[in-house]
Structure 1
Amino acid sequence: MNQSELLKKLHAYAVPDTGRSVLQSIVTLGIFATSIIFMILLLQHGASPWLVVLISLLTAPIFVRLFIIFHDCCHTSFFRSRRACAMLGHILGVITLTSYSDWQRTHGIHHGSVANLDKRGMGDVWLMTVAEYNKAGRWEKLCYRLYRHPLVMFFISPPFLFFIMNRLPSKGFRRKDLTSVILTDVMIVLMILTFCLIIGWREYLLIMLPMMSAASLIGVWLFYVQHQFRNVYWAHSSDWDRFRAAMEGSSLYMMPAVLRWFAGNIGFHHIHHLAPRIPNYRLKECYDAIPELQQIRPIPFLSGLGNIFLGLWDENSRKLVSFSEARRLTTSS
């Protein structure tokens, strides 16, 4: 099957089912709201704060699922109506601390430039080639090593991104992006003040902070593993191919069924980049129905954790390598 035939088959799945979208929204928001109400009741009846923290952490995957729906709205793949996607997207943007218009723009740039070495720097993870790293100054190397360190990448950066950086417009923002950021921030403040007035600020932090922090960690990990793996495809603009960028520059991350449900099938990321208009609930059936999509080498769930040590792109071997491997490559050349 050639590319055009494959894309034509994918197009058949890029049709939202309004009933399934509405049901998914109600179920996910319902579980989310029920969990928060349950934690509030526990605190009011003198339950241990540690129990509330535990439940808050267990609710984090539902928070991730809300972001997946937000993500689909940004692609206008969740409803047939762009207005319906925007309305739900703005609401979920307040809940997930992310401006709809600004994130939609930067994420769109990410889709248009994924795996392009000449268009790095917007909506992606900072990546240097081995040659760039060797030519870099001491300060830039230190910043890059800190940025790519697992402790910073997966435990410090995620909360900073969602709590702080998302409060500001991204580079190259348009007027409507700035407006969206301001309105989202205002609504977030009002939401927090309302909760604090009703249940108290300590109780609010006890319920929401563990959940949001853990969800940010999970979200960043999912985004990371989708494009940071050993045999990932990268190319300069002159050689860059959109089809290969989707099929080889995006991962097939295999997760257990329950985790796949929470993550909205985002592990089928090569399909998502081939056809972003496919709703999350159709990615798995699309994968099962089209054999060509199954030819991608999968990343097993646990072995994917090894990718956290890969930090540089080697243009000679065309692989993502660790810093120690890069040193050996440099010494031997």
Structure 2
Amino acid sequence: MVMVDSNEAGTKTDWSNLETSGAGYGTLMNGKIMNGDHQVTDEDEFDPSDPPPFRIKEIRDAIPKHCWVKSPWRSMSYVIRDVLVIFGLVALALYFNSWVVWPLYWVAQGTMFWALFVLGHDCGHGSFSDNAMLNSVVGHLLHSSILVPYHGWRLSHKSHHNNHGHVEHDESWVPLSEKIYKTLDFSTKFLRFKVPFPMFAYPFYLWKRSPGKRGSHFNPYSDLFAPSDRSYVLTSTVCWFVMVAVLVYLSLVIGPAQMFILYGVPYLVFVMWLDFVTYLHHHGHEQKLPWYRGKEWSFLRGGLTTIDRDYGMFNRIQHDIGTHVIHHLFPQIPHYHLVEATEAAKPVLGKYYREPKKSGPIPFHLLNYLVRSIKQDHYVSDTGDVLFYQTDAQLFGSSQTKME
């Protein structure tokens, strides 16, 4: 659980600390800060990198008190609902056993696996209940069932929330520095910046993390964890291997092909959902959003770079995880209060809250944001404290147009 208060209100960004050679945040030309095709002028109505004129306490105070209340019974009702749907989908797919039905089953079941992950994610934040033991037991059952090491992920995700928007210290889809980017071989760049390959990154991230970062979510002695965390990580790793053993046993009983279509394909759909959603919560807005390092970073400024998304008919299925800004600032709020909390906080957030584009039943519009961002958001400068993504125009031998 993250409880952070900051003294974010203050003076404007000290532009004298920015790189003026063209390699950093921008180049100073005729009184304007230039960042590729992006200009920040005195006439601009809003600069998202400006320190906000409010403090995190003002946002907290605007949220109704009941939004902070966690109901373990209500939380468990979502678990029961999702588990019943999952077993119901298995029964229906086996009953019809048709290649017309199987693709529908894969999409539906993979989406439900993703819904289970979100509930386990709430356990990791402590927003599932105030009972730490209940959170741990339910979190292990949910996450192990979809091959996620609960404590290993929980601890790295806590680091993500504590350092959101920080170039070096963030943990989820953290930007590559220009220096690290230039060390990547072609195959790594291809897999990272060519859709759909980044949408299958999560299992590899669990084992090896991102380029420039060391450690594994399965290794108790990883750089990710403090010595006091080792027993927790070991417990989750053992649970993960137990689940793998169960899957192997079931494959021997019903056959590997049947196990693959019942569990393997939905697992891949779940991974795609996870990477799709987590990427778009921090990338791909119409206006480029800042990343920070050094003294320019604060918990509030980093949290305000997250993005809410509308997933249409999937919003409630995936437990309103698209309501992401307030979740990042106050992860202890249960998912079923996030929409109300966000509405209450909007008057305080003002232009720092970016209203998500309304979706139809299926959020096809988000595919465009995803593809465009992955094509254009490649690295950030090694220097400067307020940074925006830059584009490698020579990547894959084709020129890219930077997104304003």
Same fold (TM over 0.5): yes
Deviation at 1:217, TM superposition (A): 0.7
CA contact (8 A) 2:64 2:341 kept: no
Query: Per-residue displacement from partner, 1:242-300 (whole Å, max 9, x unpaired)?
Result: 111111x21122221x1211332122211111101011111112112333356412343
Aligned residue among 123, 128, 134 for 2:176: 128
Structure 1 residue ranges without an equivalent (≥5) = none
CA contact (8 A) 1:226 1:252 kept: yes
SS in 2 for 1:324: coil
Matching residue of 2:94: 40
- For the residues of structure 2 that align with 1:179 and 1:152, how far apart are their CA atoms? 32
CA contact (8 A) 1:146 1:152 kept: no
**Structure 2 CA distance for partners of 1:7 and 1:219, relative to 1, 3 Å:** same
- For the residues of structure 2 that align with 1:325 and 1:277, how far apart are their CA atoms? 43
User: Which segment is superposed worse, 270-279 or 229-238?
Assistant: 229-238
Residue 255, structure 1, aligned to residue 308, structure 2: no
- For the residues of structure 2 that align with 1:202 and 1:143, how far apart are their CA atoms? 30
Matching residue of 1:304: 369
Deviation at 1:29, TM superposition (A): 1.1
Matching residue of 2:76: 22
SS in 1 for 2:291: coil
RMSD between aligned alpha carbons? Answer: 3.1
- For the residues of structure 2 that align with 1:293 and 1:29, how far apart are their CA atoms? 37
Aligned residue among 146, 167, 174 for 2:190: 146
Matching residue of 2:391: 322
Tell me how many residue pairs correspond in the alignment: 317
What amino acid sits opposite 2:369 in the alignment? G
CA contact (8 A) 2:120 2:139 kept: yes
SS in 1 for 2:292: coil
Residue 210, structure 1, aligned to residue 265, structure 2: yes
CA contact (8 A) 1:10 1:275 kept: no
- For the residues of structure 2 that align with 1:70 and 1:127, how far apart are their CA atoms? 26
Structure 2 residue ranges without an equivalent (≥5) = 1-53, 210-215, 358-362
SS in 2 for 1:276: coil
Q: Greater CA radius of gyration, 1 or 2?
A: 2
- For the residues of structure 2 that align with 1:195 and 1:15, how far apart are their CA atoms? 40
TM-score (norm 1): 0.83
Matching residue of 1:9: 62
TM-score (norm 2): 0.69
What amino acid sits opposite 1:270 in the alignment? V
**How is 1:242-281 mapped onto 2 (pairs within 5 angstroms)?**
242-247=299-304, 249-256=305-312, 258-281=313-336
User: Which segment is superposed worse, 100-109 or 282-291?
Assistant: 282-291
**Structure 2 CA distance for partners of 1:142 and 1:10, relative to 1, 3 Å:** farther
What amino acid sits opposite 1:250 in the alignment? T
Aligned residue among 172, 176, 187 for 2:224: 172
Deviation at 1:81, TM superposition (A): 0.9
Query: Per-residue displacement from partner, 1:60-118 (whole Å, max 9, x unpaired)?
Result: 11111110001000001111211111110010121121111111111111111111123
Q: Which has the higher helix share?
A: 1
- For the residues of structure 2 that align with 1:203 and 1:285, how far apart are their CA atoms? 43
CA contact (8 A) 1:226 1:269 kept: yes
Identity %, equivalent residues? 18
